[in-house]
Amino acid sequence: MADAQDIKSTSSNSGALSTLVTVFFFWGFIAAGNGVFIPFCKHYFHLDQFQSQLIDFAFYLAYYLGALLLYFMASVLGKDVVSRWGFKNSIVYGLLFSAVGAVMMIAAVNANTFPGMLVGLFAVALGFSLQQTAANPFAALLGSPETGAQRITLGGGINSFGTAIGPIVVALALFGATKANADQINSLGLGKVSTLYACVGALFVIAAALFFFSKKLPSGKNDDVAEKSPKALTALLVMTALLILIFGAVFKSYTIETTDKTLLDEIEMNRMKLLLGGLVVVVGTLLVSLMSAKKNAVGWGAMKYPQLVLGMLAIFTYVGVEVTIQSNMGALLEQPAFGGYTSAQIAPFISMYWGSLMIGRWTGSIKIFEPSKPLNTLLLFLVPLVAFGVVLLVNSVAQNDVSNLYGYVVCIFIQGAAFYISKDKPARTLMIFSLLGMGCMLAGIATTGITSTYAFLSGGLFCSIMWPCIFALAIAGLGKLTAQGSAFLIMMILGGAIIPPIQGKLADMPFIGIHQSYWVPVIGFAYLAWYGFGVRRMLQKQGIDYDASTGAGH
């Protein structure tokens, strides 16, 4: 187990924790910045909406493959790799790998190649996968167990701050301002992307050095033995192989050159079928695994628990929904009915979307400070207003016009009421927030203009608290298999790689378009609402209290 002296020596080590939370900031900053980077690349490389979504595909696929590789190594070696390396060293390795990814991005920029840039982003996110696997338990280690949740919540808050300012910083880095016109955008080169990632890579190296040379940080090493689960490993490897075949066929289809409209339509339809096939592979693998484990639980490890397997699908759906709403928002806002904004002008909206997650996570963390009941009720409405003001302030400092975002405060009050009704209970919170998210998506589809924009932006408000709710419900009752179950859940960040391209392809179809493509998150929120309702019965059958409160953020 971890060195007891290490834990004792860091029981109140705010300096060590400050060093740790920098990696939480990086995850949010880079991921949210992709929302601006996507339309930039779409214009520069003349991509269609699906092709532009390959940025998210590469980024979130790396999370899945990274977590799968760590799980595979643990299965072969019989010991958890991150535990063997130690949390500190694992974060250092992850940061350095992300720095290598930044160098690869710069090389791809100099070669003027979009596929090369995707490889670079993949490498950056692969490093993030290792960092994330180590950082959450490491935060819990830096002090007494009683305050572990507070430290993880702090990391989530820093992550959300990164998502709020990421789009602004990236827009300023790429465009020099957030008010560039179409001609200026089309005349931009990739030199500023190179500068941006040179700075990012340098920050990765500096952070790695801080971790490596910090004498106050414990190693976080332990000798835990990994649980064997050969059937689960086989299922995940088969799923991965099928996904490689499917997406390989999708990418290969883009090498076909033809001007025959009939043939083009046929190719586009085949691409759509392949993308949906990828979704079916993931959903099918999880459901078949669940049914097989019900018949014979031996060899399935944590996947013998229905709350975990269906929770994996919930994480897959949640991440996919969270990412696809904002990834396709740039194309939506470029439509005349939604303001006709340029790629440079959408940064305040992307910032507000990710800022909405910060608003929700700050609000969801109130309970940690144990306020009195009257004060808690007051803070449920005051804290989100303060967080809303922070997002507006950041945009104002960047000289963005935020006057068209003032009315969004109505959505924030609705979220405050939802928190009050949910009473910090994971299952109830997930169900209520999912239903509200679905309602907002439907409202966005049914309207246009600023009303519709507010509705789609509010998806961030209602996604904000889903990660801790799903995570808490999915690992409830797993006992010694909790660590393995957590690894499986992190793999399902894969949803951010698969769901956005599906919506992007729907948006490319003339008879659907970008506006109606938002039926994708509607379906996603519907499943999440079902999980929030159904998981209660699953846990009740196992004698588990599903009403335990939670309050962190991813």
Cβ(218)–Cβ(3) below 8 Å? yes
pLDDT band at 20 (very low <50, low <70, confident <90, very high): confident
Cβ(553)–Cβ(461) below 8 Å? no
- If 0-12 CB within 10 Å is exposed, 13-18 middle and 19+ buried, where does residue 399 land? exposed
pLDDT tens for residues 289-313? 999 999 999 999 989 999 999 999 9
Tokens linked to 398? 């960047």
Tokens linked to 369? 């400070």
Tokens linked to 328? 């396709």
- Does residue 283 surpass a pLDDT of 80? yes
Cβ(529)–Cβ(434) below 8 Å? yes
**pTM > 0.85: yes or no:** no
Highest mean pLDDT of the ranges 204-213, 267-276, 403-412: 403-412
Alpha helices in 78-113 (DSSP H): 81-85, 87-110
Residue 180 has φ and ψ, to the nearest 5°, of -65, 145
The residue ranking higher by pLDDT, 120 or 164, is 120
Cβ(214)–Cβ(17) below 8 Å? no
Tokens linked to 165? 């300012």
pLDDT tens for residues 137-170? 676 566 655 445 456 656 666 777 777 777 777 7
Residue 172: the pLDDT is 72
Sort residue 335 into left (φ over 0), alpha (ψ -120 to 50) or beta: beta
pLDDT tens for residues 53-95? 788 888 888 988 998 998 888 888 877 787 788 878 888 999 9
Q: Which amino acid is at 256?
A: I
Instruction: Report the candidate in 431, 354, 360, 352 with the shortest Cα–Cα distance to residue 395.
Output: 352
Give the residue carrying structure tokens 């490890």: 301
pLDDT tens for residues 338-356? 988 887 778 889 889 988 9
For residue 225, the cross-strand partners are 79
Residue 278: the pLDDT is 92
Q: State percent of the chain over pLDDT 70.
A: 84
User: 509-539 burial by CB neighbour count: b if 16+ within 10 A, else e?
Assistant: beeeebbebbebbbebbbbbbebbeebbebb
Integer-rounded Cα Rg, in Å, for the chain is 22
Other Cβ atoms closer than 10 A to 97: 21
Tokens linked to 505? 């392809």
- Does residue 519 surpass a pLDDT of 50? yes
Residue 526: the pLDDT is 98
